Structure 1
């Protein structure tokens, strides 16, 4: 009996210490309110408008067909859907009653005006790096927007992910607020690029791998990850066989971020939306800075996966005929493409990644680069989901992954089941 009481007492003490630690870790780096009142100005609003573009704030905080910045867009996550908030200065449903200090706490500490913890679908682990000056400029801009009354839609997260206790534990494990600190060993341009890419640009919100609780390995993790709820794979920016841009020229990378295309690649899927709503609007100096940072990322290839399936030679033969009938007129009989118009498929690393999700998404739903000032009428690829069966779609994918000397990283052949599973992915 005494032993049992002692064990229970030890357990209770351990739980109390853990709770105190979680509480302490959820109140790190919380600055006191500013001593002088916040004052906006036309110059601050203009600067904030630019920073809002850099963060692509409108992209998430605008529902499809809705009013800009009024929120309500569903952000799918593995734990359920989160709905973005109204950023217009409406007093009842938006930011109208917020102070600059409260806005700073949301960006830097992941806390709402009422003190409640925000879900990390709002990437405050990235936004914590934003300086107070830039946060104030963003706030000034958002306060200048037209007022829109649009009530917040409740998140649809499953239990226990919808509780404050679960958020507190997650933050204690994975979140530490810290404003960006320049690296004295790097150039001012590199530091500017790191600040934009890690902070407002929140690039690794998509391009990092995540654990079972949705956390990344850190702000320098660009090892790639599946965007399960969207059906796209964000390639690793460390891996030359996936999305690394280390071997691109700086002008080529800047052109891609500005227009959505260059001689090497076109931006499709979620990245197309980022370029259309964000990076095409950035200054050449900031694009050069981002290029400097992204091209400096450490390079390492993922271990080659041994093929687990027997080659489907009949599927490839069927795919060869389907390619000739439906694809060769644009992409060329030898997969050579048309420079500046239709991408080459021979040696195209987007086709050859171990994960064929992006290839299947493009074949099924079509491929469309963003319409930008530098590429206002981009060429696109029509969807084939309504033209070809699942088996035929798998056959085409298998063929282009193995034709013309292509050697995919993983299993070369795509099965009809892979196509069916890709169809089941949710697309916002």
Structure 2
């Protein structure tokens, strides 16, 4: 984002903040309103700490709040975004650097209202916009579990944000525009299992934090434009389109296999999603995963407009690229994926009709060729097959040619890939 655009956005936020006034700083959400039916997750776990551990796993709290090689939940993981780098805080019960002095109300306010104990607004990199749907009893159980952990004295690193996003007070305007505290409201037209799945996807699992499109200020805008977003360098496809990650046409067993094992007959989890499956989803009870599948199958199937605005090659350039791509595919890919892209299960997926290749975003196939692609190792898939990296072996142009060939062969219909798109994934920002 250019410096001029950042200044303009900053000015807009300032003006909105003035209009919103300090009244929004006192915005408080109440406890769960009476009469709202909240699905009971892990209701068979009578012990509060055990139940909290299950809920924290379902929410994948450890995934963000643990640095690579660091102590669990002690924070420090860097989360790069277009606005700068956020550093996840320490949520162990250390009294000085963690949340050891937080009360139940403090923790609930953070999840439900997006506020620190001192009342300061939290950045929405912490997905309180989804956690606000959690039931108060679930919030208390998660905190009980976190309190049971060994405290780790590790000071939190400050965020490294670009101007004007480093001005926390501007969040008053952001919240006025994009956030209202609330709780999950069950749909009386759906059964209990569907509602439990909705509670997972909308709130506890905060799936939309990755899979919903965001506007220039980082707010989800999926109602207006059902497209996914780039998260940790990978494209998280929308759940509202069968051309991307929608599963309305899948069987329940196929959805459960992907979520629980990381692989199914139609897709494999890679990139950040592989981490979610490994750290979180594979540990959930099957009935809860099936509840998620029930909800996901019922999501709308919408058409996604392509955000890509590329210079289309001339007919001569296109034919030359496809010829080079066919040669490169025969040399580097056909032994595993087949001469006609038919694949060789279970080691190499079919490329013909593979929607991971034909989505409007080319980020994931580019990254898979550059850095390799690996499904998670799970109980249901203990020895996953993987795609080797070609980062040093193939040039930007060679990768672009191969992908352009794959995206237009065997019935696949997608836009060509340009060499500068590949270059951006080698050297571009990690978001």
What is the CA–CA distance in structure 1 between the aligned matches of 2:236 and 2:164, rounded to whole Å? 27
Selected match of 1:196 from 187, 196, 200: 200
What is the CA–CA distance in structure 2 between the aligned matches of 1:277 and 1:306, rounded to whole Å? 36
- Trace 1:44-55 onto structure 2 (pairs within 5 A): 44-55=48-59
Partner secondary structure for residue 403 of structure 1:
coil
1:345 aligns with 2:376: no
1:245 aligns with 2:247: yes
1:186 aligns with 2:190: yes
Q: TM-score by structure 1 length?
A: 0.89
Selected match of 2:297 from 291, 295, 298: 295
What is the CA–CA distance in structure 2 between the aligned matches of 1:418 and 1:170, rounded to whole Å? 32
The alpha-carbon deviation at position 399 of structure 1 amounts to: 1.3
Selected match of 1:106 from 106, 110, 114: 110
What is the CA–CA distance in structure 2 between the aligned matches of 1:124 and 1:301, rounded to whole Å? 28
1:309 aligns with 2:319: no
Selected match of 2:138 from 134, 141, 158: 134
Are the equivalent residues in 2 in contact too, given 1:224–1:233 (CA < 8 A)?
no
Q: Which deviates more, 72-81 or 298-307? A: 298-307
The alpha-carbon deviation at position 158 of structure 1 amounts to: 1.6
What is the CA–CA distance in structure 2 between the aligned matches of 1:178 and 1:195, rounded to whole Å? 13
- Counterpart of 1:261 in structure 2 is 263
Change (3 A) 1:197 1:26: farther
Selected match of 2:397 from 391, 394, 401: 391
Q: Which deviates more, 131-140 or 331-340? A: 331-340
- Aligned residue pair count: 401
- Counterpart of 1:23 in structure 2 is 22
What is the CA–CA distance in structure 2 between the aligned matches of 1:382 and 1:318, rounded to whole Å? 21
RMSD: 2.2
What is the CA–CA distance in structure 1 between the aligned matches of 2:204 and 2:269, rounded to whole Å? 20
What is the CA–CA distance in structure 1 between the aligned matches of 2:125 and 2:342, rounded to whole Å? 40
Are the equivalent residues in 2 in contact too, given 1:345–1:351 (CA < 8 A)?
yes
- Counterpart of 1:69 in structure 2 is 73
- Counterpart of 2:5 in structure 1 is none
The alpha-carbon deviation at position 427 of structure 1 amounts to: 4.2
1:155 aligns with 2:154: no
Q: TM-score by structure 2 length?
A: 0.88
What is the CA–CA distance in structure 2 between the aligned matches of 1:425 and 1:246, rounded to whole Å? 34
Name which one, 1 or 2, has greater alpha-carbon Rg.
1
Are the equivalent residues in 1 in contact too, given 2:115–2:121 (CA < 8 A)?
yes
What is the CA–CA distance in structure 2 between the aligned matches of 1:189 and 1:23, rounded to whole Å? 41
Change (3 A) 1:427 1:372: farther
Are the equivalent residues in 2 in contact too, given 1:256–1:267 (CA < 8 A)?
yes
1:226 aligns with 2:229: yes
- Trace 1:159-174 onto structure 2 (pairs within 5 A): 159-174=163-178
Unpaired runs of at least 5, structure 1:
1-14, 33-40
> CA offsets per residue over residues 378-408 of structure 1, 9 Å max, x none?
0000000111111111111111111222111
What is the CA–CA distance in structure 2 between the aligned matches of 1:164 and 1:306, rounded to whole Å? 34
- Counterpart of 2:40 in structure 1 is none
Selected match of 1:81 from 82, 85, 101: 85
Unpaired runs of at least 5, structure 2:
1-13, 32-44
